[in-house]
Amino acid sequence: MKISLRITLLMVAMSVISVGVVGTVLAHRAWNAAETMAKDLTRSMARQVAADLRNYLEINWYRVTSLVTVMEGFESITPMARRAFINELLKSTVEKNYAVLAAWTIWEPNTLEGNDEAWIDTPGSDGIGRFVPVHSRTAAGGTVLELIEDFEDDDFYTMPMRQGRQIIMDPYPDFLAGMDVNVITIVAPSATRGARFWGSSAST
């Protein structure tokens, strides 16, 4: 084989090897760049989600605080109008705040007017007259009034009573407004006077 041909073949081989090495280096750099971009994007999305969640919790925290503050003044309302007023307050909370799926309150027996029996089976009141309304958003975008049942041993009722302060409950799955959602409930003791627990109110 002529020397010129050997040199040509050697140069071709070296060129192929060089292209392969350069390609490998570029591919490695591209992979590293893509990996870095993916990590940066993930961190950015995580920060945004965290900020959105913090904002949601802060807004709803103060919303529940406001609900409780209004309810603590229930004695200034004519007894015959108290339940209707609170029902409208809860309903309005859901209707005017898209992020709120439900708003509710539980009052201790014979606390609101002192005679629950007079209110048996009225809107928001159960079979013994206890005031336990929950206003929930429907799939159609409206609201529905229901009663809270079998709550005596549930954390959302017992924890504010025991701790005497507003709390955020752990998320739990539920079906509300026609969809499966992870629910975060902020609940607070309402209408406390001294050491006496009068009830609790919440936003979900």
**CA dihedral defined by 58, 59, 61, 67, rounded to 10 degrees?**
160
Per-residue pLDDT, 178: 73
Which residues pair with residue 105 across a beta bridge?
Answer: 201
Q: Give the residue ranges of the chain where pLDDT is below 70.
A: 1-28, 30, 32-35, 38-53, 176-177, 191-196
The model carries a pTM of 0.73
Per-residue pLDDT, 64: 85
Domains annotated for the chain, with CATH where assigned, are 52-203 (3.30.450.20)
- b/e sequence 40-49, b meaning 16+ C-beta within 10 Å: eeeeeeeeee
Per-residue pLDDT, 74: 87
Q: Which residues lie closer than 8 Å to 105 by C-beta, 6 or more apart?
A: 67, 71, 86, 90, 131, 132, 133, 190, 199, 200, 201, 202
Per-residue pLDDT, 156: 87
Per-residue pLDDT, 18: 58
Closest-CA residue to 141 (of 89, 204, 94, 88):
94
Which residues pair with residue 134 across a beta bridge?
Answer: 104, 146
